[in-house]
Amino acid sequence: MASRVDNLARMARAATPTALGLFGVLLLALPLRLAEGFAPTPILPLVVIYFWSIYGPSYLPPASVFSIGLLQDFLTGGPLGLWPAAYLALQYVAVSQRAYFYGREQRVVWLGFGVAAAGVSLMMWLVMSLMSGVLLPIWRLAAQMAATAAVYPILAIAFANLHRRVIVET
């Protein structure tokens, strides 16, 4: 009996990053309309994927990342597969640079996130512009990415505590 409860608890802990990513997508799909729609909504899944790619890639397998992106595509109605591709690319790059970022100062990791967000923005913008046939305005996406980068430090502290105290707790 106790072992089953332990198993459930372990599974819940292991699924927390994925659940957080999916929750972030739901947050993106809510009609929050921050400041009458002028303030862009931060892309929470981007932070989740970047954070766990560096501090615990085994807790966020590519299948999870793919499903997070797929849910976002389904809810926002964009071209199917774009967000999964962007998120998987982010994860690939972040995991490949893990050795550099792991254990570094938070400022450096934050800067890395900024660069990664800029890369994802550029990719999204190029693909969407190609698909629509005109050069789309990028400022809205840039504002959204800037908002995401702005909230990154707060989320990183929260996620670090969650990761250390709950998820990998033995």
Partner 1 sequence: MRLRRRCSARRAKTVMEATSPVLAVFSGPIAWVQDRVGAVGDYFNVLEQNKALREENALLRQWEEEARALRTVVATFEALEGYKAPPGAKPINAFVIGESNDAFAHSMIVNAGARDGVRRGQAVVDDLGIVGRIADVSNNASRILLLNDVQSRIPVFVEGSYVEGLLVGRSTARPAISITMLADADKIEVGQRVVTSGAGGVLPRGLAVGVVSEIDDENAIVDLIADYARTRMVRIINYRFPTVNSEEIVVTPEAMPEPATGPQTQPQQMSPPAPSAEAEPAPTVSSIITMGEPAPPPEAAPDEGD
Write out the binding residues for partner 1, residues 78-137 only, by CB under 8 A.
78, 124, 128, 131-132, 134, 136-137
Number of Cβ within 10 Å of residue 52's Cβ equals: 27
CA distances from 132 to 28, 42, 127, 143 (A): 23, 24, 9, 21
Binder of partner 1 out of 144, 148, 155, 167 (CB under 8 A): 144
Number of Cβ within 10 Å of residue 121's Cβ equals: 19
Binder of partner 1 out of 14, 15, 70, 75 (CB under 8 A): 75
Spatial separation of the C-alpha atoms in residues 141 and 33, rounded to whole Å:
16
Binder of partner 1 out of 140, 151, 154, 160 (CB under 8 A): 140
Nearer to partner 1, 73 or 111 (CB): 73
Give me the 2-31 binding string for partner 1, x by CB under 8 A, dash otherwise.
--------------------------xxxx
Q: State the maximum Cα–Cα separation within the chain, in Å, rounded to a whole number.
A: 61
CB of 98 closer than 8 Å to CB of 140: no
Least distance from partner 1 to the Cβ atom of residue 168, Å: 32
Q: Which two tokens stand for residue 137?
A: 């305005």
Size of the site for partner 1 (CB under 8 A): 25
Residues that bind partner 1 (CB under 8 A): 28-33, 36-38, 40-41, 75-78, 124, 128, 131-132, 134, 136-137, 140-141, 144
